[in-house]
Amino acid sequence: MTCPYASNLVLITGVTGHVGFGVLVHVLSAGYSVRAAVRSSEKAKTIRSHPLINALDPGVRLTFIIVPDLCKTNAYDEAARGVDYVIHIASPLMSNQIPPPDDQDAFFIKPAVRGTLNILEAAKKNRTVRRVVITSSITALIPFSEVNGSQRCSTWISPMDRIPFVPGPYANEFEAYAASKVAALQEAEAWMATHQPHFDVVHLHPSFVEGRNDLALHTREVLKGTNAIILSIALGKQFDHSTMGATVHLEDVARVHVQALDELVPGNASYILSQNTEWDEVREIVSRNFPEAVERGLLPNSGSAITHPVFIDSFSSEEIFGFRHTGLEEQVKSVVGHYLELRNTQKKMSSRR
């Protein structure tokens, strides 16, 4: 049987990241053809040769185009040629380092804004594009003082909320990252209002994304990104600051990206992807699901993180996309289970040397 979506071509940016790779797998699994924009041919080879991609056997449904600099004028013009949909995920991510104040704008703000505008401009030049899906963040909708817990969240955060962009310098890279998401959303909506293009835009706003990172080949790589919060608690880290109590399973995020391509989903709108989380529940979940690893000391399971609550309205997203957010239990099982799998693989490889 011919797949009904095979003739629909989706341009996806950011496929070499945690979220982007998950989205790529789901889009291919749904039957779409994909043109993946990557920075180098080496990155394309890494994705093409991945076991999950090989298992899908996409053949000619997966192609790559090299876009080395997303900030360059007309960066995505060729990449967007002839595509039906665009999923734009590529954006600067936190690296657990603090860029010098002079570098924060160049590292976070400019690429997030310029990359988004380049995607929109490329889509406008190509009349085949029907919708652009942009991966934003919950941090684009919440004042940073409420994100980091220095101020209590007193009202429900809705998908329609917007906050002003605050220029740097920023105290840390998380604040700079959050500011980049505010700026990109603001500039994208201003661009849409000015240009009134033939396509519409869907903005997706996930909170802390938790779930196995299938691009990670070593346990140290699992400790990168937002998975590090869950895993650090399981490994015994005591966080000395409060952490926003809002998470979302990677599988939910990836699935919604695919569903957002359906033009029955209202466009020119924002959708929040998040459920409430109490970080101290991580220890209980780890004890319940990985008792042997805890007993053997592979998971000290003695860490802790103070949760500061945020009140997020994700009900409309659940109604429109027809799902219920996967809870913390499955998120922890996914992240910690993957860590233990990699640890076991590394141990076997070591013993063979």
Options 3.40.50.720, 3.30.300.350, 3.30.70.20, 3.30.930.10; which CATH number does 9-348 get? 3.40.50.720
Confidence (pLDDT) at 223: 87
Confidence (pLDDT) at 91: 87
Residue 241: exposed, middle, or buried by beta-carbon count in 10 A (0-12, 13-18, 19+)? exposed
* Furthest CA-CA distance within the chain: 62
DSSP 148-197: TTSS---S-B-TT-------S--SSHHHHHHHHHHHHHHHHHHHHHHH--
Confidence (pLDDT) at 347: 79
Its pTM stands at 0.95
Q: Chunked in runs of 10, what are the mean pLDDT values of the chain (353 residues)? A: 70 97 98 98 97 97 96 96 97 61 82 97 97 98 93 92 94 92 98 98 98 93 91 95 95 98 97 96 98 97 95 95 98 98 85 65
Confidence (pLDDT) at 353: 60
Confidence (pLDDT) at 104: 83
Confidence (pLDDT) at 2: 44
Give the C-alpha separation, 175 to 179, whole Å: 6
Confidence (pLDDT) at 3: 61
Q: Where are the beta strands (DSSP E) in 21-111?
A: 33-38, 62-66, 85-88
